[in-house]
Each structure stands twice: as C-alpha cells, then as structure tokens.
Amino acid sequence: MQLNGQCLCGAVHYTVEDAFEYAGYCHCIRCRRRTGSAFNTYAGIKTGQLQLTQGAEHVRHQDESAEGYDAHCALCLSPLFSIVRGREYVHVRIGTLTDTPSRQPDHHIYVAFKAPWHQITDQLPQFAELPPP
C-alpha cells in the first residue's frame, strides 16, 4: 500500500510504501532545533521507497553530506524527510503523511539529550543514544 504525504502549503507531494522498517521519536538537539519541538517523529525505510509526485522543484536540501541531507519545501519551509545512514534510508516526518501508516513509533532515541521541560509519559523503550543493533 502507498501512503501519501505533503508539505504545509501543498506544493510538494510524495508517496511512500507502507512498509516502514522502524519508527520512533528522536530527542537529539539537532532534531529538536530542526522541528522546533520536543522531538522528531520519524519512520525509516529504504530510500527508493519514497517518490516525489509533485513539486520536486520546490524541495531544498539542507546540511548535505556523504551521509545524507534534510529535505524541506522551499516555499513553506515544512521539513519533509531526511536522507540518512549513508543515503540508504529515508526518515519520513510522520506528521507530513496524510494517510496513517501501519507502523507506529515504538521507541525513543537520544533521551540523554531530551528537552528538560519535556516529560516522556508513555511506556515505550528509551535509549540514551541509539539502540543496539
């Protein structure tokens, strides 16, 4: 099944397979600053599973390196996804999906760096940094 997603202004649309390998909440300082929130809610899948279907010309890359980059809409500045792990995976910002994925977040990472004003109130596993492989 395909899931649909888009930016806030609707200029950029994408589809992604509903086959995420993992999903979680990242509390690292970079994700907090990137989202302006206490954490980033993401789901990971192989890079080839995401396709831009509209507005590819409006997608801007930020912090590009050999490892990957962050993609956002140049018009409304919505963060859409990040290419990570040597460009092999895409971390979709779940909040940009217009459909509900079958995989729900099931862990918290980088809780050693979480915002001091944020309380994690669920019972999901918490990892100080990355979980063991």
* CATH number corresponding to 2-26+41-106: 2.170.150.70
Which residues, 6+ apart, have CB-to-CB distance to 1 below 8 Å? Answer: 17, 18, 102
Query: pLDDT tens, 56-85?
Result: 999 999 998 999 999 999 999 999 999 999
Q: What is the pLDDT of residue 130?
A: 85
Domain ranges of the chain: 2-26+41-106
Query: pLDDT tens, 76-132?
Result: 999 999 999 999 999 999 999 999 999 999 999 999 999 999 999 999 999 999 876
Cα–Cα dist 64/69, whole Å: 4
